[in-house]
Chains A and B, each alone.
Chain A
Amino acid sequence: MSALTPGFRGHRRTESDRVPPGQYLVEDFPVLSAGPTPSVATDGWTFTVVNETGERTVWDWTEFNRLPHESPTVDIHCVTRWSKLDTSWRGVSVDTLLADVETAADFAVIHSFDGYTTNVPLQDILDGQAWVATGYDGSPLTAEHGGPARFLVPHLYFWKSAKWVSGITLHDEDEPGFWERAGYHDYGDPWLEQRYQSGW
């Protein structure tokens, strides 16, 4: 009996291990939008965190760009069934944005300049799991992909990564967002195919 199995390559993760059930891989970057692309200028742009007692923390574009930035490379999974591997972003970790915010909240709502909202448990956007991204693939983030800044929480379906992001509000109770109120799943784990509201 051979001591080695021919063709065995150990436990290196293959591409197929990185594609959740019901998804297919794309090389391009599809643009999805529930409305006209807003023109959000960096002049007058602000990012606002509001905790559950109403205390506000606000950064303008200049202040935001002085914050420490990270360069995550992540896989993203859209509920419309495309996945894209190894996407490269530049942005500020939510850990940095919430570092000085006093909160005992359990939930967050991500807000966009066009009125879009999406909800996430607060624990899902801490500990290096989420960013506010201003760069993609080495360039400033374009408007069609959510520029000047979009949310990025890649372990959930990509509708949770709100484009044209304007801020985060923190809440004691879960508050479903734009798609979650309209039939999509409250949490949206791509590995569990949590596309629609439970039971449907």
Chain B
Amino acid sequence: MNDHVDGNMLAGALWQVFRPDITTAEGRCATCGMTGPVASLHVYTAAPGTVARCAGCQQVTLQLVQSANSMWLSTAGLSYLRFPNQLR
């Protein structure tokens, strides 16, 4: 039985996630579990890309790499980003 649908199904839900100001979203550090707004992360820009570290444990939460044509966003150091549900 084919019990899944394709990624287009995510469009409606993720539109809510990526539309608001990301800095007000709450992130949870995957290493130490500290939660706080993205704006509270410690950000280092004197590097090949931008690196955001947890304000509590200094582990990397987010990396952003930009070329002329593309952006790569890694959020591997966050266990979640929490956004207000704007459909309610």
* Among candidates B59, B70, B76, residue contacting A183 with C-beta atoms closer than 8 Å: B70
The total of interchain contacts (Cβ-Cβ below 8 angstroms) comes to 54
Whether the Cβ atoms of B67 and A200 lie closer than 8 Å is: yes
Whether the Cβ atoms of B72 and A183 lie closer than 8 Å is: yes
6 A-B interface contacts by CB (under 8 A)? A32-B47, A32-B48, A34-B49, A181-B76, A183-B72, A196-B65
Interface size class of B (residues with CB under 8 A): 10 to 19
Q: A78-B48, A182-B74, A183-B65 are in contact. List 9 more A-B contacts (CB 8 A).
A: A33-B44, A33-B46, A35-B44, A35-B58, A159-B48, A183-B49, A183-B67, A195-B67, A196-B67
Alpha-carbon separation in the docked complex, A43 to B53 (Å)? 27
What per-residue 1/0 map shows which CB atoms of B46-71 lie under 8 Å from chain A? 11110101000011100101010110
Within 8 A of B (CB), among A163-200: 178-179, 181-184, 195-197, 200
B58: chain A residues at CB < 8 Å are 35-36
A32: chain B residues at CB < 8 Å are 46-48
* Among candidates A31, A34, A179, A196, residue contacting B70 with C-beta atoms closer than 8 Å: A196
Whether the Cβ atoms of A35 and B60 lie closer than 8 Å is: yes
What per-residue 1/0 map shows which CB atoms of A1-41 lie under 8 Å from chain B? 00000000000000000000000000000011111100000
Within 8 A of B (CB), among A67-91: 78-80
Alpha-carbon separation in the docked complex, A159 to B65 (Å)? 13
